[in-house]
Structure 1
Amino acid sequence: MKSMNVTAVPSKYLMSVNEELQGTVQEVSYKVGNYIHLSRQLVTDRSIDISEAGRETVAGDAILKKCNVYLPAGYDPNDTTVRYNVLYLLHGVGGDQYEWLSSNGKVDGRFIICNILDNLIINGDIDPLIVVFPNGRSAYDWTDSSFNSEGTNMLGFYYFDYELRYDLIPFIESNYKTYADITVTSHEGIIYNRTRRAIAGLSMGGMQVLNLILGGYRHDSTRITGTESPWNNGLDKTVLAPGMIDLFAYVGAFSNAPTSSDGITLGVSLTSCVHNLHLLYTTCGDSDGVANGSYAKSVEGLTDTAGDFVGDYYQVLLENGVHDFNVWNNGAYNFIRLSFGKCEEHEKPYVVRLTLHSF
C-alpha cells in the first residue's frame, strides 16, 4: 500500500513544460467486436452467457472506433528496453474521447490534462506513463453524444466492459510498449499486470468505473425494463456486471453519475473477487448538485461490506466544488500519484476521508 498527502493540484502543474519535455497525443482507430447493435442485442465474438449480459448475444461484424493516446516525452516505439504503466481515463455522458482534452481547456496553448501529466513526470512524482482516452459508448452509434435514455448510444455506456476487456486493452497492449500484457493469463502474470493498469472516470465515466470495474448494475431504458426510474431519467437497473478487478488494481471515480450502484452492492461484488483492490479513490465537489447524492450512496457501507478486499480507500470532497474540471483535475492528479507514484509504502490499508479547502 502507498501513502501520501492528498493536495490540490499545484498551480505550476497546470502550466506547460519545455517543449522537449512535452508528451504527445495521437488519435488512433481500433476494431471492436463487442458492442450494442441497433437491435439492442450484444454483438460479441466471445462466449458470454445471456444471463450475464442481460440480453441476447449475437454474432456480427466488428466496428471501428477511435480513442486518444497520450505518449510521454521520449517515447520511442523502437526502443525495446523501456515499458510503461497505462491509465485509462473515461469521459462523461455528453463527452467523447476528447472531453478530458478539449473540454478541460488549455493553458499556454496545451491541454491542461497533458500539462498535469508532463509535470508529474518531469518532477519525478511518477515514471513516464501512457494515458488512454476512450469513447465509453460500446455501441454501433458510438459517435452520438446526445442524452437519450432510450438510445443505443446510452445503453452502450453500460456494456463498455466487454469492449475494454476484449478489444481496447488488447489493442493498446499489442501496439504500445506497456508493462502489462493481457495475453499472459498465468496467476502470477495476472497479479503483475493488474498493478500496471489504472482506470478512472468523471461523472458517467465514474459510474462506469464503479459499476463495470467493481461490479455494479447495468442499466437500460425503462421502456424496455417496464419499471420506473428511481432517478426520473428514464433508466433503471438490469443485471450485475461481473467486474474487472482481475485487470485493474487501482480505480478512481470522480463525481460519479446518479446510476452508480450503492456501496453495499459494490462491496459485496468485491468480496467475490479473487484479487483485492489496492486503491479506490472517490471524489466529488461538496456543492455538486448532479453527483452529490450518488457519490454519498456509492461510498456508504462499501468498506464495511468489502472488508479486506479493498486496500487504501480515499473519499475526498472539494470545498465549494461543483460538477466540473476543477474537481476532476484534482482527482486525476491525486489518483495518478497514488496509483503509480513514488510514495511511502505502508502495511495496513488506509481509509482516508478529507475535504480539500482550495484548488
Structure 2
Amino acid sequence: MLAAAPQGYDQFRESIPRGIIELVEYSSATVGNTRKAMVYTPPGFSSANTYHVLYLLHGIGGDEAEWYTHGAPQIILDNLYADNKLEPMIVVFPNGRAMPNDRAEGDLFDPEKIQAFERFELDLINDLIPFIESNYPARIGRENRAIAGLSMGGGQSLNIGLNHLDRFAWIGAFSAAPNTRDPGLLVSNPDETAARVRKLWLSCGDEDNLKHISDNVHAYLTQQNVPHIWQEENGGHDWPVWKSGLYQFSQLLFKDDINEFSQVDCNGNLHNTINIM
C-alpha cells in the first residue's frame, strides 16, 4: 500500500507558482449542442511546449465543476508541481452526463441520465478529445493520455479506458460505482491489457458501501495476472478518499518505471516505493 497523502497536501500554499483553471465550451456532435468543461493548465504553461493530458471525471451528482468545487484539484496539483513530483500535464474536467440538459438536477438516477453517462464515451472520444488537441498544445497518442474519476466517473474511466487502450495508457478509478462493467467484460483479453496499459489504478475507502465493486475488479485482475495498483484508504465514499486518489495517481502518470516509482506485481502489491510521499 502507498503511503497516505501527507498532512497539508490539499492546503493552499503561499508564494508558489500556480496553474490556471478555466471554463471552456466545445461543440458536441454526439449530444447536438455546445457543452462545458473545465481545464487546468500547469504553472509555467506555454504554447511553446507540449503537454500530456489527464481527463478527470466526476460522480453522479456532479458536473464539470464538481472537482473544482469540492476537491481543490488546482491546489493539490500546484503543491505537487512546487515539490517537483508531477510531469507537466493539462487536466480536463468534463461533464460526464452527455445529454442536452446535463445539469445535476431532478432524479439523478433517471434511466435517461444513466444512459447519458454511457453516451459520454462517444462525446469524449469524438468531440472533447479532438477539441482539446486542437485548442491546446496537447501531446497526442495513447501514451500521452490518462483517464480517471470518482464514483460514477471511476466506473466510466474503467469502462472507457479499458475499452480504448488505443486511446489511453493510464487509467484510474477512485471508489468505482455500480456502472462499472463486469470485470470479465472490462478485461476480456487479459494478456493484451497487461501488455498495453501503463498504469491501472484502483482505490477505495475501507468503509465504502460500494467497496465490493472495486474488490471484484481487483480480484479479477489479480486472478488474470494483470498488473495494477490497489490502494485501500481509510474512509468511506467521500472526498478525502478521492482527493487522496488524485494526489497519488497523478504522481504516477507519464513516467517511465525505471527510477521513477515502484514496480507493481499482479497482486497489486507495490515494492520499493520511493517518490509517493
- TM-score (normalised: structure 2): 0.88
RMSD: 2.5
Alignment-derived partner of residue 65 in structure 1: 35
Kindly tell me the number of residue pairs found equivalent between the two proteins.
269
Residue of 212, 219, 225 corresponding to 1:300: 219
Q: Which amino acid aligns with 2:67?
A: W
User: Does the 8 A contact of 2:53 with 2:144 survive in 1?
Assistant: yes
CA distance in 1, matches of 2:85, 2:105: 35
Counterpart residue number, 1:122: 82
Q: Following the alignment from structure 1 to structure 2, what is the Cα–Cα distance between the partners of residues 196 and 317? A: 27
Question: Which residue number in structure 2 is paired with residue 325 of structure 1?
Answer: 239
3-state DSSP class of the match of 1:169?
helix
Q: In the alignment, does 2:25 pair up with 1:24?
A: no
Deviation at 1:148, TM superposition (A): 4.2
Q: C-alpha distance in 1, partners of 2:57/2:41?
A: 17
Query: In structure 2, what is the Cα distance between the partners aligned to 1:115 and 1:8?
Result: 18
Aligned to 1:209: 157
Deviation per residue, 1:221-241 (Å, 9 max, x gap): xxxxxxxxxxxxxxxxxxxxx
| Matches of 1:25 and 1:335, distance apart in 2 | 20
Which residue does 1:38 correspond to in 2? none
Q: Note the 1:190-229 alignment, pairs <5 A.
A: 193-214=141-162
- Greater CA drift, 328-337 or 121-130: 121-130
Aligned to 2:44: 74
Say if 1:141 and 1:153, in contact at 8 Å, map to a contact too: no
Aligned positions of 1:133-148 closer than 5 A: 133-148=93-108
C-alpha displacement of 1:20? 5.8
For the 8 Å contact 2:98–2:120, the answer to whether it is kept is: yes
Per-residue deviation, 1:292: 1.2
Q: Distance in 1 between matches of 2:135 and 2:244?
A: 30
Determine if the alignment matches structure 1 residue 338 to structure 2 residue 252: yes
Q: 1:283 to 1:94 in 2, by over 3 A?
A: same
Task: Write 1 or 2 for the structure with the bigger share of strand.
Answer: 1
Instruction: Decide whether aligned partners of structure 1 residues 20 and 330 sit closer, same or farther in structure 2, where only a CA change above 3 A counts.
Output: closer
Give distance in 2, aligned partners of 1:335 and 1:264: 24
- Deviation per residue, 1:258-282 (Å, 9 max, x gap): 2312323322155566961111100
Instruction: State whether structure 2 residue 202 is matched by structure 1 residue 282.
Output: yes
Task: Report the CA distance between 1:121 and its aligned residue.
Answer: 1.1
* SS of equivalent to 1:138: coil
Give SS of 1:158's match: helix
Indicate how the Cα distance of structure 1 residues 34 and 271 shifts in structure 2: closer, same or farther if over 3 A, else same: farther
Change (3 A) 1:346 1:332: closer
Counterpart CA distance in 2 for 1:350 and 1:155 is 35
Whether contact under 8 Å (1:86, 1:197) holds in the other structure is yes
Quote the Cα distance in structure 1 between the aligned partners of 2:240 and 2:124. Answer: 27
Query: 2-side partners of 1:274 and 1:315: how far apart?
Result: 15
How far, CA to CA, are the matches of 1:116 and 1:164 in structure 2?
25
Between 91-100 and 294-303, the greater mean CA deviation after superposition: 294-303
Higher-Rg structure is 1
The equivalences for 1:104-183 within 5 A come to 104=71, 112-180=72-140
Query: Are 2:4 and 1:90 equivalent residues in the alignment?
Result: no
Residues 153-177 of structure 1 show CA distances to partners (whole Å, capped at 9, x for unaligned) of 2211012111111100000011011
Aligned-partner Cα distance in 1 for 2:45–2:201: 28
Note the 1:248-263 alignment, pairs <5 A: 248-263=168-183
- Aligned-partner Cα distance in 1 for 2:256–2:191: 29
| Percent of aligned positions that are identical | 36
- Within 5 Å, which residues of 2 pair with 1:46-61? none
Deviations 1:311-335 (A, max 9, x none): x40111113x101111111111111
List gaps (5 residues or longer) in structure 2. 271-276
TM-score (ref. length: structure 1): 0.69
